[in-house]
Amino acid sequence: MVLSEWLRWPRSPRYLDPAFSAPGSSGSPVWPYQAAGSAVAGLEVSDATTDQSSGVVLVSAVVDFGAGEAAGSGMVVDGKDGIVVTNHHVVEGSTTVTVTDATTGGSYVADVLGTDAQHDVAVLRIEDAPTLAEVTLDTAPLAVGDLVTAVGDAGGDGGTLTAAAGTVTDTHEPVTVTEDDGTTATLRNLVEVDADIISGDSGGALLDADGEVVGMNVAASKGTTDITGYAIPARRVLRIVEAVLSEVASTDSLGYDPFLGVQLDTTSQGAGAAVAAVLDDGPAQTAGLTAGATITALSGAATPSADALVREVVGHEPGEVVEVTWTDAAGTSHTAEATLGRAPVA
């Protein structure tokens, strides 16, 4: 089992909203973010060619309504419909995602259609984008010794894509990745390569000798400059993309949970859900709630505790208008409508 780390560049600490934010914490990159160009100094990388860059995009995320930022890479798998695949850990905790075409420089807002956190894959759809160049996926099995090239936004600087050449050294490697809080996540049956894959390459393309995508960059070894990289096999990526698109087509819903924009005091013993803080310009603040309030009902359903409020909120959809009843710190009762927002990506 190899100890590795994620390949996005850093995001800041998350806005704490235990009631409605995604659980868990974000992971650490291999290196801290550095100025453009310095992150790849001394590594065996070069600027990606036009052919290598085709269909590979830059992915940037605003985390928890502006509390931080993250960056990685992605691949266009359907240029007509603007479908992009990246790693789940690149967009985890995000509230806004932007995709930039590395070739044209065009930037577009993207929705997260769905994710598979266990396999670290996320599927995005670009809003109102023109038809984009797309990658070609090769789902044939790889063999040790195959020549490969990892392409992505190494260093997370949003500039020219880089290419790191190497060979396949294992085709079924398990990898344990360390999170910021010390917990670990294990990804199994990854492609191991001896290419210099670094922070910012997450979600980028692992190309074979024919320029076809055989994997998606996901992690790299830590604590050494002799880098070992890891990629999710293309067949697994494609399988998850198809599953997410099928789910979206059948349910007509995106990969977001509803969000009221409050931080709850889970230690409160009073009747109702005690509000410790509200998100600036969030649904709750817009409705008139302030810190110190106690939410007693949501759309007519009593909320005698923080857990009860959470259950009521998740029973609705983002964009749905709900009626919130609360008592303020002075003991005055209020009722107002709130339009639920989108929670950070879980």
Going from N- to C-terminal start, the domains of the chain cover: 2-251, 258-342
Rounded CA-CA distance 152/104 in Å is 15
Q: Work out the mean pLDDT of the chain and round it to a whole number.
A: 85
Return the structure tokens found at 117. Answer: 């956190």
Q: What is the CATH number of domain 2-251?
A: 2.40.10.120
Question: Is residue 248 over pLDDT 80?
Answer: yes
Q: Which CATH class is domain 258-342?
A: mainly beta
Q: Report yes or no: 263 and 274 within 8 Å, Cβ to Cβ.
A: no
Question: Is residue 120 over pLDDT 70?
Answer: yes
Q: Report yes or no: 268 and 306 within 8 Å, Cβ to Cβ.
A: yes
Question: Is residue 39 over pLDDT 70?
Answer: no
pLDDT at 37: 36
Question: Is residue 55 over pLDDT 60?
Answer: yes
pLDDT at 15: 26
| pLDDT one-digit tens code per residue, 149-207 | 999 998 777 778 999 999 999 999 998 887 656 677 889 999 999 999 988 899 999 99
Return the structure tokens found at 254. Answer: 């995106």
Mean pLDDT throughout 74-89?
Answer: 96
Q: Give, in order, the Cα–Cα distances in Å from 29 to each of 38, 150, 178.
A: 15, 17, 10
Question: Is residue 343 over pLDDT 50?
Answer: yes
